[in-house]
Structure 1
Amino acid sequence: MPERAESRDRHRPPTATNRTAAQVNTTALLDRLRTAGPQSLSELVQHTGLSTATVNRLVDRLTADGRVLEAGRTVPTGGRPARLVKFNARARSVLALDIGGRKIAGAVTDLEARMVRRRKRSLAPGADGRPAGDFFEALADLAGALVKDAAQGPAPVHTVAVSVPGVVRRDTGQVEFAPSLQWFDLPLGALLEERLGLPVRVANDVNLLALAELRHGAARGRRDVLTVALGTGVGASLVLGGELYGGGAGAAGEIGYTLLGRQSLATPWPGFGDLESRVGTAGILARMRERRAGREALPAGFGSEDFLRLARSGDEAATAVLAELVDDLSLTIGNAATLLNPELVVLGGGFGRAAADLLVPAVQRRLQGRIPLLPALTGAALEDAQLVGAAELAIDSAATTPT
């Protein structure tokens, strides 16, 4: 008996709709213009693999809505001068937001991640030391203020992206867990979209740090990179074959939960992980207090900057804690490098970048001769890497989405 039409349809392989194909083609063309600068139409045909007719049609459409501009003509070498076009980075604005344990930073950028407006807000923790209860409201208020700022200019905000210190579901923008914020199963993307009336993308902060360093910083031109961020928490991000690797549930890189020894199996870690509890800011300060027990107590407000100042001055307790920190980091990076074989390891995050001059050479010495292939190590190059990464995430969407 012949197979019914609806049954055949169920077994037919999925195909791209005309709209999907146009979106893919537009993305390819704009990516080329964003990365290569002004191009002739024949160069766009050559480098994108699209037909001449498709390139002509897309360029005309993108020129009409302002995302592509005329850039003159090529200098002729015997033939006719060719038309040049370029990407218009000022056609739209995006909003990048970066969330820390006690602060929120935001920036409106153009489509090349150049910041044109910025705001920052510090939030004091609650009486129990936990994050302020109104953290989301503060985030939404700061975002709303920046959207209003941008609306006064020629390019209102088109897309929003948020950097979060936690595990994020990439398909929904839901924050699965962010211990430093006490956020669990929070539909952050949906809540912000409802508040702002704009599309919102949410991503892990270390993934965005890695994206920023890949496109603008220490990892430019690299294809296999491990980025390790040290701060209040500890996280990592993988770039494999030039692309961010998220893992099956988007939780790849939670290196703070690395178990460092048999004793690690005896204690549950309901919030911060084993490695995180040792080399995160709280762990470093706890080690300093332990080393100072019975002697002069640490002054009120002592923080990671004070620790680094003492370590650089040769303070006995700080030097000993730094050595322990180097050992824990070396074990973690060495094991990860043996498994993944990255060509580069980037140390970032607030503490990691500030301490890179101490940590990078010390970890290199510790691992020399202990693993088969020692990757290059360096500190992160960008001061506002999470903001830049969030801007790039928003730009990827804003640059290619039709008006």
Structure 2
Amino acid sequence: MAKKDDKSTKNAPLIGIDIGGTGIKGGIVDLKKGKLVGDRFRVPTPQPATPESVAETVAAVVAELDARPDAPSPDSPIGVTFPGIIQHGVVHSAANVDKSWLNTDIDTLLTKRLGRPVEVINDADAAGLAEARYGAGAGVSGTVLVITLGTGIGSAFIFNGKLVPNAELGHLEIDGFDAESKASAVARERDGLSWTEYSVLLQRYFSHVEFLFSPELFIVGGGISKRADEYLPHMKLRTKIVPAELKNDAGIVGAAIEVALSHKLAK
């Protein structure tokens, strides 16, 4: 029998799952458009968020997506994000989930539980991939830094459209402190800062990162990217800085991109 032409599988829809500290969400991703097919499906992250409980919750999200008419093949690979450093499929940090995740082979865990190939990527890296391919960074050459402001500060380092993984720029030390301890979105709320006051801290952080890397573009993600007009106008940088475009879908889309690239299902 002749080998089936794989053109039909290139950029075919895939499932992406985004594991967060408070919620686990997933969707079917149209890789031609960088958009979800249908609605996101979200459930609360189990507490405690142990490897076993999270794996079961991911399986439940996948089952719901698999039951949809537009679902990809049941043996298609799945992309998953995780809020920690991922190297060769192993978790090396776990700030917002249970510490039992440390040194867990999350690729193997989820592949066994789901019975199909799984590729796991850091959540900020996934958002960066999505923005670089379909969002504010599309078509930008050179260095693009995607900075997500949320519980902490996440970062993705993109060079000529390709990801340099696990750039933990939220942990740069500024004025004797971990940057994210003072300049994350949660820190702003905790310290009761106005947007103008917060922009001073962001200016300090982004100026430092700009000096270190001289990027072509900063993209600001995370929940408060929707309020970018409250703080970006107060900031003065050499580098252009813009809000992310994919919003809450970025992690899901980026997870699908990662698994598609790993399995040569996308260009």
| TM-score, length of structure 2 as denominator length | 0.85
After superposition, the C-alpha distances for 1:253-288 in whole angstroms (9 at most, x for unaligned) are x122121214x3xxxxxxxxx222223343222212
- Go from structure 1 to structure 2 and tell me whether the alpha carbon gap of 1:148 and 1:190 turns closer, same or farther (over 3 Å shift): farther
2:151 aligned residue: 232
Residue identity (%): 30
Candidates 136, 143, 166, aligned match of 2:62: 143
SS of aligned partner of 2:139: coil
Tell me the CA shift for residue 229 of structure 1: 0.4
Q: What CA distance in whole angstroms lies between the structure 1 residues aligned with 2:50 and 2:110?
A: 18
Larger strand share, 1 or 2: 2
Q: What CA distance in whole angstroms lies between the structure 2 residues aligned with 1:65 and 1:111?
A: 21
2:249 counterpart of 1:335 = no
1:345 aligned residue: 218
- CA RMSD, aligned part only? 2.7
Larger relative contact order (Cα-Cα within 8 Å, sequence gap ≥ 6):
2
2:113 aligned residue: 195
Q: Tell me which structure has the larger Cα radius of gyration.
A: 1
Retained in 2: the 8 A contact 1:103–1:120? no
Tell me the CA shift for residue 109 of structure 1: 2.8
Matches within 5 A, 1:72-87: none
2:133 aligned residue: 215
Q: What CA distance in whole angstroms lies between the structure 1 residues aligned with 2:50 and 2:230?
A: 33
Matches within 5 A, 1:60-79: 65-68=4-7
Retained in 1: the 8 A contact 2:199–2:232? no
Q: What CA distance in whole angstroms lies between the structure 2 residues aligned with 1:153 and 1:380?
A: 27
Q: What CA distance in whole angstroms lies between the structure 2 residues aligned with 1:276 and 1:387?
A: 23
- Go from structure 1 to structure 2 and tell me whether the alpha carbon gap of 1:159 and 1:153 turns closer, same or farther (over 3 Å shift): closer
Tell me the CA shift for residue 376 of structure 1: 0.6
2:18 aligned residue: 98
SS of aligned partner of 1:337: helix
Alignment gaps of 5+ in structure 2: none
> Which residue identity lines up with residue 135 of structure 1 in the other structure?
V
Retained in 1: the 8 A contact 2:196–2:231? no
Alignment gaps of 5+ in structure 1: 1-60, 70-86, 265-273, 289-317, 368-373
1:260 aligned residue: 174
> Which residue identity lines up with residue 74 of structure 2 in the other structure?
P
Q: What CA distance in whole angstroms lies between the structure 1 residues aligned with 2:144 and 2:6?
A: 32
| TM-score, length of structure 1 as denominator length | 0.58
2:264 counterpart of 1:392 = no
2:225 counterpart of 1:360 = no
Larger helix share, 1 or 2: 1
> Which residue identity lines up with residue 15 of structure 2 in the other structure?
L
